[in-house]
Structure 1
Amino acid sequence: METRSQWGTRAGFILAAVGSAVGLGNIWRFPAEAYANGGGAFFIPYLFALLTAGIPILIMEFTLGHKYRGSAPLTFKRMNKKTEWVGWWGVAVAFVISTYYSVIIAWAISYSIFSLNLSWGSDTEGFLFNEHLNLVDAGQIGSFVPGVLIPLIIVWIVVLGVLFAGVKKGIEMANRIFIPALVIVFLIIVIRAVTLPGAMQGLNAFFSPDFSSILSPDVWVAAYGQIFFSLSIAFAIMITYSSYLPKKSDITNNAFIVGFGNSSFELLAGIGVFGVLGFMAMQANVPVDEVVAGGVGLAFVVFPQIINEFPAMNELFGFLFFASLVLAGLSSLISITETYVAGLADKFKISRGKAVLFGGGLAALISFLYATQGGLNFLDAVDYFINQFGVALLGLVEVIMIAWFLRELKGLQSHANEFSDIRLGSWWTISLTVITPIVLGFMMYQLFTRNLFQQFDTPTGNYEGYPDAFIMYSGWAVAAAALIVGIAMSFTKWKSTKQSNEESESREEKIK
């Protein structure tokens, strides 16, 4: 019998899954997204989306990995040989994301050092783009930026070192350190944030509900989008992690813990972020809506501005904030990289060490592109297109294929119910067969019409006004390549021993 690595404890799995879900997006995407879509009222569609898409898909992917005991490609192959390409598509998407996600962690490492003497100065935007990144025009590569390249190498040494150590001694052990440390650090940040002058102004802006907004379909789409992108679902991670669970594992309970754990951290992040934004608004004597930002701008432009204005302990707060980004990023990057490490090991029957070296090493080399003067432009375009037309589209295909075409939900429901305290019923099947496909389908319709058809309306119809050629090869081509690579990988033969062949045939007979 083929032996497969396992988590040492249930807590180890939950910490790893939460570590994967809790990432940079929780800190810099959720607060701005909630504020822009009704403030406190946003929590109504957000909670509905969590219960009808986030947790149901988590349960589905946990069950898939647990039942078929393999990486995403192997899981889909064992479920139905014709669907292996979906697993590889997810792995390819994860591979692309890992190449630039690692660079953002490298920025955070640099900024944690810059914070010790506030070396970004008063013009934080100019420092980021001109002094730190030395940004050039879109499409140009330029030379390496040492302040990005050196910490990027450190990031990959840490991540690949953890993965070399294995599931129990590497991934589980790392998350037992990273996640508690992240929670402690961020709690300190939140406590300091809410005690700042003007913090209540920011929190009022964040929580004040605009109930009229929830009548807008766009707000509901935003809620589903936030849940979808936040939980690390639909690109191979949760399938891979759950394949290391012991046979008798409470799948449904685990999914609820991970789902609500991730959302709790998002709420905590919103309180911390808007506490300091309220302080910044008071200092500048402007309304909160004039200082709200999200994404890279929030983390590396707005927050340094706020830290400059702190009445005391500027350097310590800055260090803690960027350390929290590093911790959140590393736990997520480890999980992202594990997807293709596991896929390569399963497909080609190579050792974990070789899979880490080939897969992780290639990702590290490609990531050096983003450590150049033109890296931010490439990162921005690739991130947008691989998330929108990789993760979201992949999620739609995955759910429709499993729920509608393969009609696997009944079997997965029985498998999950066999070991879980919370038994699945019609709520789960209706969510996956009706609600999630409709919402994701509408999301994809909006995205394609906005990015493809509107491109021809004006010369600057592209995302962020980037040139046509740049968007084609760094946006659309990257998203398409992930799908093409996924299909191509499904046509390559599986390397296996006679023993593992016999086990696979026996398993497929049982499934039939």
Structure 2
Amino acid sequence: MEQRDQWATKIGLILAMAGNAVGLGNFVRFPTQVAQNGGGAFMVPYFVALFFLGIPVMWIEWVAGRYGGKYGHGTLGPTYYLMARESLKPRSALWLGVISGMLAFSLTVLLNSYYLHLIGWSAAYSWFSITGAYFGQNTGDFFSNYLSNHGEVFLFWGITVILLSIAVGQGVSKGIERWVKVMMPLLYIFAIIMVGYIFVLGSPIDPNWSTIDGFKFIWSPNWSYLGDHLWDVMLAATGQIFFTLSLGMGIIQNYASYLGPKDDVALSGLATVSLNEFAEVVLGGSIAIPLATAYAPKIVPADVLAKGKSEALAWIGQKFGLGFSYTSLPNVFVSMGDAGKLFGAMWFLLLWFAGFTSAIAMYNYLVALLEEDLNIKRSIGTWIVFLIYFIMGLPVVYISGYMDQVDAWVSFQLTLLALFDIIVAVYLFKPDNFWKELHEGAWMEVPGWYKPIILYIAPILLLLPLVGTFKSFISGRIGIAPWTAIIVMWIIGFIESYYSIKRKYAEELEKNEVIVKV
């Protein structure tokens, strides 16, 4: 078997995995979910979902990835075929592998069709902040004008994706690992500087409005709100855990496939969760909401402010979202004067680093698919993926509402693929095999009481985002263009996964018995 690229250092692996998890969801989506779900009311189910669902699924995906790597696979189709055949005959296991591979391929392409544009927006606003381009202007109109300037949108998208292509094209140890070793420390440094500034900021506009009010909103348990909106808050919390840890994408499995067969996955998986949670809860939760609260007199309408603090905080919560970072927060930076140019650039560069280190993992998944499953050289596969991203990103720019509709499907498919994680990589692989693999070369022993959590509680909790996102998905209208893109990606993913498994395991599929065993 040909020697695959592997991580050169342990710290490189941890930073890459953390970079995969730390993305726009930590600094944009997390504050949005907190603000829109009762502040402190959100944090209780969030930590419950992290402990009982996030960590177990994270370990499942690490184990699956390393197991696939033993056979030279970094993609889900062949990996889940191998794991499913522990309980099923090869011809039956084939279809589990094909469907898993199909979902992972379509998800990665569809998610990046718009995610890369969001990263491009952050790159653009880093430049607009340092140059003061939106200073003295209506920030809402400025953002709308930027999105209408397609040449400018593609310029910053192109800069981002070309750099991604260069990094991935250099390979895992010489490319991805080197890039994340620079970007991840910078990301944390920028975030810590901003949090430190916010802690001493106090009340820059009005003594009645301080950053402390924002922190109280996040960290004061709101039991009455939680009791009145339990289902909605639980759904939001479990959904956020999936997004923040990059679960249900096949990306963790891909990175873990570059481990050696005896390399630790137990402690390494827990370490990446810890780094991600530090970035999200401690840093991401300490920037946008406290900053918006301190500058509420500048961004909240006067008639809403007059109703009191609770009404103003509710208004901020309703307005929080993707656009908030590009419309309301620039108003905050403008209010800071010249210092706002620096802090605005730092904020958007922070978002760019976070998005880049996540996108690099998804980019590598598709390149690995071309390289390992179709024997296309990495240097060529890198630019094929670039072309795919360009084509699939065109509707995001030119079709109104396309991004939101595709995102609704992506949210559902994330949880669907996570269900396949548990079914294939635990139950069909057999729980005892999974537990043994989890502890192979482990630097820590996972407590025995976590086994029933993985086997029973995690699947039950998974039903929350699965049912919730499905209901949200079917309640919204999906246009012809998104459905066309989804179906085309399914077809391509199905054919690719079927071909890759059949090509490598033709003999055992023909005989319907396991032949290849490491």
Using structure 1 for the length normalisation, give the TM-score.
0.87
The residue type equivalent to 2:102 in the other structure is W
**How far, CA to CA, are the matches of 2:234 and 2:242 in structure 1?**
12
Look up the match of 1:186: 191
Look up the match of 1:98: 112
The residue type equivalent to 2:167 in the other structure is V
**How far, CA to CA, are the matches of 2:370 and 2:501 in structure 1?**
10
Q: What SS does structure 2 have at the residue aligned with 1:218? A: helix
1:65 pairs with 2:65: yes
Per-residue deviation, residues 371-408 of structure 1 (Å, max 9, x unmatched)? 44x4x63222212322x22212221233234444x153
**How far, CA to CA, are the matches of 2:500 and 2:39 in structure 1?**
51
**How far, CA to CA, are the matches of 2:211 and 2:270 in structure 1?**
32
Q: Does the C-alpha gap of structure 1 residues 6 and 493 become closer, same or farther in structure 2, counting only changes over 3 Å?
A: closer
> Contact 1:19–1:175 at 8 Å: present in 2 too?
yes
Query: Which residues of 2 match residues 185-264 of structure 1 at below 5 A?
Result: 185-196=190-201, 197=203, 198-215=210-227, 216-264=230-278
| Sequence identity percentage | 28
**How far, CA to CA, are the matches of 1:32 and 1:189 in structure 2?**
18
Look up the match of 1:379: 403
1:273 corresponds to which of 275, 280, 288: 288
Look up the match of 2:350: 324
Unmatched tracts of structure 2, length 5 or more: 85-92, 204-209, 306-311
Deviation at 1:304, TM superposition (A): 0.8
Look up the match of 2:468: 446
Q: What SS does structure 1 have at the residue aligned with 2:12? A: helix
Number of positions where the alignment pairs a residue of Structure 1 with one of Structure 2: 479
Bigger mean CA deviation after superposition, 437-446 or 17-26: 437-446
> Contact 1:78–1:508 at 8 Å: present in 2 too?
no
Q: Does the C-alpha gap of structure 1 residues 497 and 385 become closer, same or farther in structure 2, counting only changes over 3 Å?
A: closer
> Contact 1:30–1:226 at 8 Å: present in 2 too?
yes
Deviation at 1:315, TM superposition (A): 0.7
**How far, CA to CA, are the matches of 1:74 and 1:433 in structure 2?**
23
Bigger mean CA deviation after superposition, 2-11 or 114-123: 114-123
> Contact 1:163–1:171 at 8 Å: present in 2 too?
yes
Deviation at 1:74, TM superposition (A): 2.5
Deviation at 1:496, TM superposition (A): 6.5
Per-residue deviation, residues 332-384 of structure 1 (Å, max 9, x unmatched)? 11001111111121111222112212223322333244344x4x632222123
2:496 corresponds to which of 485, 489, 496: 489
1:433 pairs with 2:447: no
Q: Does the C-alpha gap of structure 1 residues 352 and 125 become closer, same or farther in structure 2, counting only changes over 3 Å?
A: same
> Contact 1:201–1:288 at 8 Å: present in 2 too?
no
Look up the match of 2:143: 128
The residue type equivalent to 1:35 in the other structure is A
Look up the match of 2:309: none
Per-residue deviation, residues 51-71 of structure 1 (Å, max 9, x unmatched)? 211111111111111122122
**How far, CA to CA, are the matches of 2:77 and 2:403 in structure 1?**
27
Look up the match of 2:33: 33
1:171 corresponds to which of 151, 176, 200: 176
Q: Does the C-alpha gap of structure 1 residues 57 and 364 become closer, same or farther in structure 2, counting only changes over 3 Å?
A: same
Q: Does the C-alpha gap of structure 1 residues 195 and 96 become closer, same or farther in structure 2, counting only changes over 3 Å?
A: same
Q: Could you say what the CA RMSD is over the residues aligned between the two structures, in angstroms?
A: 2.6
Look up the match of 2:97: 84
> Contact 1:163–1:170 at 8 Å: present in 2 too?
yes
**How far, CA to CA, are the matches of 1:482 and 1:410 in structure 2?**
35
**How far, CA to CA, are the matches of 2:372 and 2:14 in structure 1?**
23
Look up the match of 2:333: 307
Q: What SS does structure 2 have at the residue aligned with 1:422? A: coil
Deviation at 1:425, TM superposition (A): 5.0
Bigger mean CA deviation after superposition, 58-67 or 433-442: 433-442
**How far, CA to CA, are the matches of 1:214 and 1:252 in structure 2?**
33
The residue type equivalent to 2:285 in the other structure is G
2:480 corresponds to which of 461, 473, 491: 473
Query: Which residues of 2 match residues 152-171 of structure 1 at below 5 A?
Result: 152-171=157-176
Deviation at 1:479, TM superposition (A): 4.3
**How far, CA to CA, are the matches of 2:345 and 2:275 in structure 1?**
25
Look up the match of 2:2: 2
Q: Does the C-alpha gap of structure 1 residues 302 and 255 become closer, same or farther in structure 2, counting only changes over 3 Å?
A: same
Using structure 2 for the length normalisation, give the TM-score.
0.86
Q: Does the C-alpha gap of structure 1 residues 370 and 40 become closer, same or farther in structure 2, counting only changes over 3 Å?
A: same
Look up the match of 2:89: none
